Structure 1
Amino acid sequence: MKFRSSSVSSSPTAPAVSPTKRFSMRVAEWLLDSPRLGDKPQVKHIAGRLLKMPAREGVVAAQSRLGQLMCRECDNARDRRIGQDLLRQAARAGDRRAQRELGLVED
């Protein structure tokens, strides 16, 4: 049985977010925002892994959240530098949380 997919016209200015990216972002945000789970290093590691692919593909919310996570939680300078780069990309795209974080980070 064949199913025809309807062609979805998307505007060239707003990139479409696939359902898998949206799902991984929601799970990562739920893990990080959970009062019981969000403080555990293993949970932060899993959330970072879930945010990595959407952030690479240009999802601003993922860039902002992963940048914050890397700047706050990573011990080495390389990871903090990558986190700052992600925050800069998200801030340039207009993310207020990233702009505030950069104000704190680059004092």
Structure 2
Amino acid sequence: MKFRSSPDSVTSQPPRVTAPKRFSVRVAEWLLDSPRLGDSQNAKHLAGRLLKQPAREGVVVAQSRLGQLMCRECGNARDRRIGQDLLRQAARAGDRRAQQELGLIED
């Protein structure tokens, strides 16, 4: 028995959509920028967790916001160093917020 092969357009998977990555960054930004939620430690913790993976994947906005969060909110030197590294990466990519934050830290 011979099976018909389906055309490549049917069997091939569509290109991977980056919507979840963008969504998590937008939710994290909303949490951090919200006047009522932005001061909550739980909201900051959740925002940090949402920003972590996109920052690792090179999303400049996520690197910048996570770097700022780590430099301002973390109590230990290791986390502040990681935050500064993220800010440097974002600043090299042209992010103005990261460049300003680095200027404040290094002065």
Q: Residue 75 of structure 1 aligns to a residue in which SS?
A: coil
Work out the CA distance in 1 between the residues paired with 2:49 and 2:74: 14
Alignment correspondent of 2:32:
32
Q: Deviations over 1:58-107 (max 9, x none)?
A: 00000000000000000000000000000000000000000000000111
Percent identical residues: 80
Alignment correspondent of 1:82:
82
CA-based RMSD: 2.0
Measure how far apart 1:17 and its partner are. 7.4
Asked which structure has the greater CA Rg, the reply is: 2
Return 5+ residue gaps in structure 1 as ranges: 9-15
- What code does the residue aligned with 2:33 have? D
Q: Deviations over 1:25-50 (max 9, x none)?
A: 01000000000000011110000000
Work out the CA distance in 2 between the residues paired with 1:7 and 1:41: 39
Return 5+ residue gaps in structure 2 as ranges: 1-8
Question: Please, what TM-score do these two structures have when normalized by structure 1?
Answer: 0.85
Alignment correspondent of 1:49:
49
- What code does the residue aligned with 1:100 have? Q
The runs of at least 4 consecutive aligned structure 1 residues that moved more than 4 Å come to 3-8
Alignment correspondent of 2:105:
105
Question: Please, what TM-score do these two structures have when normalized by structure 2?
Answer: 0.85
What count of residue pairs does the alignment treat as equivalent? 98
Aligned ranges 1:1-12 → 2 under 5 Å: 4=10
Alignment correspondent of 1:96:
96
